[in-house]
């Protein structure tokens, strides 16, 4: 029997400080990027936020690498529930993995699509620029932006599911799961 299945179900050891910090920083950036993305996609004039969407999205792609490294190095807390919550845990892990994967794919797609659409140099922060990775091809660029749109919808659904699950734990199961992301 593994350690996890012999654990006391009431145990609440949390994530490491590094994991908690990066979780909340990335969560805030993600929500910002999604909101601005939909404003952009729906023809709103967002000014500076247009550049910030792309720069923050790219930063998320860099941070997800840092996060995967931190996750590998820091000892994750044991699952909250054991035995009878198998399906729930599989669902949570699946959503987490899909979030990690989309944080890598979506910014790359956005970058590729922007170059293909015709914008060569994409401003990043600190006066830096993302170098072009693709040649201009307007038709293909529009197609790629459409994929960016659909993946954006899918990611939004993932984030809503994830936040919804956190709220369920808080107010329906009342098991204080949130504390694992707030303290060690």
Interface with ligand HEM (CB under 6 A):
23, 26-27, 30-31, 33-34, 37-38, 40-41, 53-54, 57-58, 60, 71, 76, 80, 92, 96, 99-100, 103, 106-107, 110-111, 114, 122, 145, 148-149, 152, 155, 159, 162-163, 166, 177-178, 180-181
DSSP alpha helices (H): ranges in the chain?
A: 3-6, 17-41, 49-73, 86-117, 138-168
Q: Closest CB to ligand HEM among 4 and 178?
A: 178
Burial of 144 (0-12, 13-18, 19+ CB in 10 A): buried
**Distance in Å, CB of 25 to ligand HEM, minimum:** 10
**Distance in Å, CB of 80 to ligand HEM, minimum:** 6
Q: Closest CB to ligand HEM among 1 and 72?
A: 72
Q: Closest CB to ligand HEM among 1 and 45?
A: 45
Burial of 30 (0-12, 13-18, 19+ CB in 10 A): buried
Q: Closest CB to ligand HEM among 9 and 178?
A: 178
Q: Closest CB to ligand HEM among 1 and 121?
A: 121
Whole-angstrom CA distances from 40 to 48, 72, 86, 173, 181 are 11, 36, 40, 38, 31
Q: In sequence order, what are the beta bridge partners of 122? A: 130
**Distance in Å, CB of 62 to ligand HEM, minimum:** 10
**Distance in Å, CB of 103 to ligand HEM, minimum:** 5
Burial of 58 (0-12, 13-18, 19+ CB in 10 A): buried
């Amino acid at each position: 029997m593994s350690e996890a299945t012999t654990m006391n179900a009431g145990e609440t050891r949390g994530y490491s400080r590094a994991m908690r910090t990066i979780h909340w920083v990335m969560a805030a950036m993600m929500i910002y990027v999604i909101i601005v993305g939909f404003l952009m996609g729906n023809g709103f004039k967002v000014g500076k936020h247009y550049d910030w969407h792309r720069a923050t999205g790219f930063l998320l792609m860099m941070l997800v690498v840092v996060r995967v490294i931190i996750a590998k190095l820091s000892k994750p807390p044991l699952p909250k529930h054991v035995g009878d919550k198998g399906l729930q845990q599989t669902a949570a892990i699946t959503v987490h993995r899909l979030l990690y994967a989309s944080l890598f794919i979506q910014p790359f797609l956005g970058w590729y699509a922007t170059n293909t659409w015709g914008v060569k140099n994409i401003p990043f922060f600190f006066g830096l620029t993302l170098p072009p990775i693709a040649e201009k091809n307007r038709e293909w660029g529009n197609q790629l932006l459409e994929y960016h749109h659909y993946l954006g919808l899918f990611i939004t659904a993932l984030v809503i599911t994830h936040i919804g699950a956190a709220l369920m734990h808080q107010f329906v199961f009342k098991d204080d799961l949130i504390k694992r992301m707030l303290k060690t």
